Amino acid sequence: MITIIPAIDIIDGKCVRLSRGEFNTKKIYDQNPLDVAKRFQDIGIQRLHLVDLDGARMKKVVNWGVLERIASKTELVIDFGGGVQTDEDLRIAFESGAAMVTAGSIAVKEPQTVRRWLEQFGSEKIILGADVKDRKIAIHGWQEESDRELFHFLEEYTEQGITQTICTDVSRDGMLSGPAFELYREIKSEFPELHLVASGGIAQIDDIHRLNDDGIDAVIIGKAIYENRIQLAELKGFLC
């Protein structure tokens, strides 16, 4: 069964959503991310995807206090991303309560650092962030596009020991246009052992059913929840 992972994206300590990662599209949904996290936990959700958008833009962890509050006041297993660029950022994230950290931009800019983190913390603690624009990896809050092709990027890191990745189709993120089904099927076919988390574009409960039927391991849901396209009660059928 596919794992449901709701997303909380943070700017200025508030729960927000963007469209295609563009900061000028910011919409605030809740002033208190902890309240949002508790609502997720109350229906039986166990995982949370927490993104420090200020951190992604400033290239350092900023909203660690939000992470600390959610981690200390819920039992959610939190994967944290956004601005994790140094050993100090990683230390802050783990000490603030992250169970896992997503290595995105740094996996492009400093692969040797990510390899060292994998050796030090293990593949169960380090998730590869593969944010994609036209099959090229996007970095720094999607404000820059690298020259790294997605499948070469995944191949390189699976050879280095990565076992889980969050793949976001930037063009679909926050657009409620449906996820990149074909892309995820292709990734799963090429890398069947890779724990694949689909992200971006989820618009309705049928999208999750289709991803589940395709054998995708997990899905991140954001705006569809906040815009009431998917009711939390609808997700209960996917929760063990």
pLDDT, tens digit, 9 for 90 and up, residues 191-225: 999 999 999 999 999 999 999 999 999 999 999 99
Chain segment 94-144, per-residue pLDDT in tens: 999 999 999 988 999 999 999 999 999 999 999 999 999 888 898 755 566
Tell me the catalytic residues. Answer: 9, 131
Instruction: Give pTM, 2 decimals.
Output: 0.94
pLDDT at 146 over 80: no
143: CB partners within 8 A, 6+ apart: 21, 57
What would the mean pLDDT of 54-76 be, rounded to a whole number? Answer: 96
The domain segmentation of the chain, as residue ranges, is: 3-238
Q: Which CATH number fits domain 3-238: 3.40.50.10310, 3.20.20.70, 3.30.70.260, 3.40.50.720?
A: 3.20.20.70
Residue 86 to residues 26, 37, 114, 149, 193, Cα–Cα distance (Å): 27, 27, 10, 24, 28
- Between CA 44 and CA 104 the distance in angstroms is 28
Q: Taking the mean position of all CA atoms in its chain, how far away is CA 69?
A: 19
Give CA–CA dist 47/77, Å, rounded: 5
